[in-house]
Amino acid sequence: MKRLQAHLAYALARAGWAGAVGVALLAFALAIHFGAAAPLQAELDTLEAEHEALAERVAQGVKVESPREQLARFDAALVERKRLPSLLADLSKTATAGKLALARVESRESQPLGSGYARQEYVFPLRGSYPALRAWLADIQRLSPAVLVDDVVLRREDIARDTVDATVRVSILMKDAS
């Protein structure tokens, strides 16, 4: 071990400042390679595998949607403004059918998203069993893809109680009738 240290010290003294700069540049290059190039190469490999899988699906005759087609499908799933009252009634009926006590629903200001689109927020204060609440959350997701659950706050006053108080904040994405 001492021999290796002595040999290394001799090599370093002989190389001088140019050798030290060379070693520093080598260390910098290795840090760049392992810190940036290797993760990027891994991401590239993942993207190439995804590209090959999509190319294979296309070759098998599976239709791959273009971004324009995806946008059209999303747009078709949005709720028209005139249908909003019936959708809210369905949300309330689903809650009461699931044995959840629904207090007054609060509405928040509509946030315009752009030409012809809006986002309306509603706060549903609910009381009932936890399984009934989970079932209602699953049901509203099936009711319309334009209904988004933003936030769920659960409170239980006493651990012995079967019922929970929940405040569910829901957003509904809407479009004007076309």
Lowest-confidence region among 36-45, 77-86, 104-113: 104-113
What end-to-end distance do the CA atoms of the chain give, in Å?
82
Q: Give tens-digit pLDDT for 59-90.
A: 887 777 888 988 888 888 888 888 888 888 88
Kindly report each contact of residues 45-52 with a partner whose C-beta sits within 8 Å and lies 24 or more positions away, as own/partner.
none
| pLDDT computed for residue 120 by the predictor | 87
Percent of the chain, pLDDT > 70? 96
Average pLDDT over residues 91-100: 86
Centroid of chain to Cα 64: 22
| pLDDT computed for residue 101 by the predictor | 87
| pLDDT computed for residue 26 by the predictor | 86
Q: What is the DSSP string of 42-67?
A: HHHHHHHHHHHHHHHHHHTTPPPPPH
Q: Give tens-digit pLDDT for 119-172.
A: 889 999 999 999 999 999 998 888 888 899 999 999 988 887 888 999 999 998
Residue 178 in this model has a pLDDT that exceeds 60: no
Global pTM reads 0.58
Q: Mean pLDDT for the chain?
A: 84
Residue 155, classed as helix, strand or coil, is strand
| pLDDT computed for residue 112 by the predictor | 67
| pLDDT computed for residue 113 by the predictor | 60
Q: Give CA–CA dist 139/177, Å, rounded.
A: 25
Q: Give CA–CA dist 84/102, Å, rounded.
A: 18
